[in-house]
Amino acid sequence: MPVRTSTASDTGALAGFQPGDSLFTAQGQGFHGQGCLLQATPREDVGACAARLLAQAAELRAEADATNTDTSTPGGPRPSGADGARPLLLGLLPYDPAGPAPAQLRVPRSLRRIHTPSGLPPAPGTAILQRREYPDQTGYERSVYAALERLHRNDGLRKLVLSRTLELELERPLDLPEVLARLWQASPHGHTYALPVCAHSQDYFLGASPELLVRREGRRVRVHPLAGTAARHPDAAEDARIAQALLGSPKDRLEHTVVVEAIEAALRPLCRTLDIPAQPGLTSTARLWHLGTLIEGELSDPAISALDLAITLHPTPAVCGLPTADARRAIAALEPFERGYFAGAVGWCDTAGDGAWAVAIRCAHASGRRLTLSAGAGIVPGSVPTLEYQETGNKLRTVLDALGLA
């Protein structure tokens, strides 16, 4: 079944988004997965599980093609892929594979390719009944001080990423099409995403990530890590000054270098060529400037899929730290909550192994009227606790803006 393409000028492309559907966008285009044909929640060997799901979906497609089954009949779904031929899997990986949140893998019952809404829909206009920061500012800054002590003790740690949450109780549940349209329109070149995270189809993990974990097209690989952040300013001249200051910041350059070095170490053995610019560039969102480095390479083995690469790279030091195992232990000791899918990975893969995965940041977990937003900041020598708290607040505004609550 060919993918239907929409060029809606408002929320039209997302107006048909129903409970149980899924969304992932990249480079101005999106996949709207309607319903669910196959799904799994593996805790181990996610890559093998995904391959099985895609193989099963391909078999179902072949059977449907052979019998010319109508897609509208309950007994004969025909899964559709990104190009109308390959079944496509959408997935969500947790921050910690050993944690309580399992990976979420699903092959949609049908798939639409859609484009960025061109008109910003009105803010949903919901009210906040209750709000809670966890930890609060004092608690978060105390954790940053503790992280700096660990870094200064030279325990082998080079970087830690510490996060916090903002828990909201809203007047009414989210209107997902409106919120997703606002997230996508505000960040058309980023990655807007929404996937159900349990059997209850109203329970969603959603967001708009500016950070590409990995994209694979044939043998070509692209990674675009972001680390080092500054808040933007409405005055153009001041905004430009802030961007240049970020480029020259020793603290932010150190934070970014750690991430690039770790990604190079992971990719170099898998690639026959790897191009890494000597200096980072600037990437912007509506709220923030980031240091970013576009890394491109060519795989040695074409059998390595986009999901394989995502599993290999995740979590990067941009959301965890370095060394990874030491940083995980320190985060578990300093953060008073489970991250779940925050700082995980979200994206897609098809039967050819092509796909794109983003770092699961600028996000929220929505369950009915309850919404939990998460954001983190990289801690390296030279970090200032108050400024790191402010940085997490700026990152939380991505979702708050989409709700009209910032």
Which residues are known to be catalytic?
Answer: 159, 211
- Give strand ranges (E) for 179-254: 191-196, 203-209, 212-217, 220-224, 226-231
Q: Which of 367, 360, 333, 332 is nearest to 345 (CA)?
A: 360
By the 8 A CB rule, do 192 and 346 touch? Answer: no
By the 8 A CB rule, do 127 and 117 touch? Answer: no
First to last CA, the chain: 42
Report the alpha-carbon distance of residue 341 to residue 362 in Å, rounded. Answer: 11
Amino acid in the structure at residue 72: S
16-40 burial by CB neighbour count: b if 16+ within 10 A, else e? Answer: ebeebbbbbbbeeebbbbbebbbbb
* Three-state secondary structure string covering 273-336: EEECCCCCEEEECCCEEEEECCEEEEECCCCCCHHHHHHHHCCCCCCCEECHHHHHHHHHHHCC
Report the alpha-carbon distance of residue 185 to residue 398 in Å, rounded. Answer: 12
Report the alpha-carbon distance of residue 291 to residue 9 in Å, rounded. Answer: 32
